[in-house]
Amino acid sequence: MPALLIIIAIYVAPIVDVVRISLFHKSLFGGIEHFVALDNYTAALQSTDFQNGLGLTLMWTAGSVIFDVILGLIVSLILMERHIVNRIVRPLILLPWVLSGVVVAYLWRWMLEGNQSPINVILSVFHLGPYHWLAQPGWALASVIIANVWKSIPFTTVMYLAGLSAIPSDLYEAAAIDGANAWQRFRAVTLPGLQHISAVLVLLLTIWTVTFFDVVYVMTGGGPIDSTLILPLLVYKDAFQNLDFGSGSAVAILLALINAVFLAIYAMAFERRQTVLEV
C-alpha cells in the first residue's frame, strides 16, 4: 500500500494536475484560473506553431530512430567479429550513452558552431565549407538528429549484440552448407533472429525521442526561425516563456497522446504477429 501511494504521488498526481491545468486559462501573476474547457486544445491544434512543431517532431523522430537502428545494427555486426580491437572498443562504445543530454549537446555545439569548429576545420582540408550548421534552417535539424543518434547508438548496439549472441550458430553453419553467401545468411538468419529486438528498439526509441528536450534546447533553442521547434520545446515556450500554462499543458497532453498512438500501433502489430505465429 505505501508503495502504491508513492507511485500515485510521483506519476499519477502530476498527470492529473497537468490535465486539470490544460482545461483552464491561468494567470501567473494574479493566480486567477478561468475554466475554458477544450479551448486550449482547439487553439493548439489550430496554431501554426503546433502544426509546424508536429511536422518537425515527426521528422526529428523518424530521422533519429531510422539512423539509430541502421547504424546500431552495423556497429553491432562489426563488434561481433572476434578481434582484439573489438574487445577494447566494446566498453568504450557505451561512453556517449552514459553522458547526459546536456553534455552531448554542448559537445556537438562546440564541434559544429563557428567557422573554426573542429568539423569545419576538417572540411576545410578538402576545400569544403565553412558551414553554419546551427544557424541555417536547412542544417539545424540534421545537426541535432546527428547529435541525438550519436548519443543513442550505444544503446541500440548493445541490444543488437545481445540479440546476435542469442542466434544459434548452427543456423549459420546450416546456411553455409546450403551454399548461402554472407548476404544471404544475413537476410535469412540474422534479420529474422533480430525481429523482436528491432520491434522493441523502434518502440523505445520512438517514445524517448518524441519527448526528448535537452539536446535540441541546448544546441539550437528551437531556432533558427523555429526550424527545430519540436513539440517538447513548444511546451516549454508556451508554459515558461509565454507563461501560458494552460496552453503549455494542452500541448503536453497532445504530445502524450501522440506517444500513446505509437504504443497502440506497436501493440496491435505485435498482437497480430503473435496470432499469425499461433496459427
Q: Cα(first)–Cα(last) distance of the chain, in Å?
A: 42
pLDDT in tens, 27-77: 665 556 788 888 899 999 999 999 999 999 999 999 999 999 999 999 999
pLDDT at residue 30, as a whole number: 54
pLDDT in tens, 125-184: 988 878 889 988 889 999 999 999 999 999 999 999 999 989 888 888 888 888 888 889
pTM of the predicted protein model: 0.88
Dihedral angle at the C-alpha atoms of 103, 106, 108, 113, nearest 10 degrees? 180
Q: 26 φ, ψ to 5°?
A: -110, 130
217: domain CATH number? 1.10.3720.10
Task: Copy the grid coordinates of residue 216.
Answer: 535540441
Nearest to 247 by CA among 14, 41, 28: 41
pLDDT at residue 232, as a whole number: 94
Give the total number of structural domains in the chain: 1
| SS3 sequence of 57-68 | HHHHHHHHHHHH
Residue 175's domain spans which residues? 2-278
Flag whether pLDDT at 246 surpasses 60.
yes
Task: Copy the grid coordinates of residue 206.
Answer: 520512438
C-alpha–C-alpha distance, residues 259 and 210, integer Å? 7
C-alpha–C-alpha distance, residues 103 and 95, integer Å? 12
DSSP H or E run through 34: strand 33-35
pLDDT in tens, 266-279: 778 777 766 655 55
**CA-based R_g, the chain, Å:** 23
DSSP H or E run through 26: strand 24-26
Whether residue 224 is preceded by a cis peptide bond, meaning omega within 30 degrees of 0, is yes
Give mean pLDDT, residues 3-13: 74
pLDDT in tens, 191-217: 989 988 998 899 889 989 998 899 999
Residues sharing a CB contact under 8 Å with residue 217, sequence separation 6 or more, in sequence order: 105, 233, 236
C-alpha–C-alpha distance, residues 191 and 67, integer Å? 17
**Per-residue CA distances from 132 to 46, 112, 224, 270 (Å):** 33, 8, 11, 43
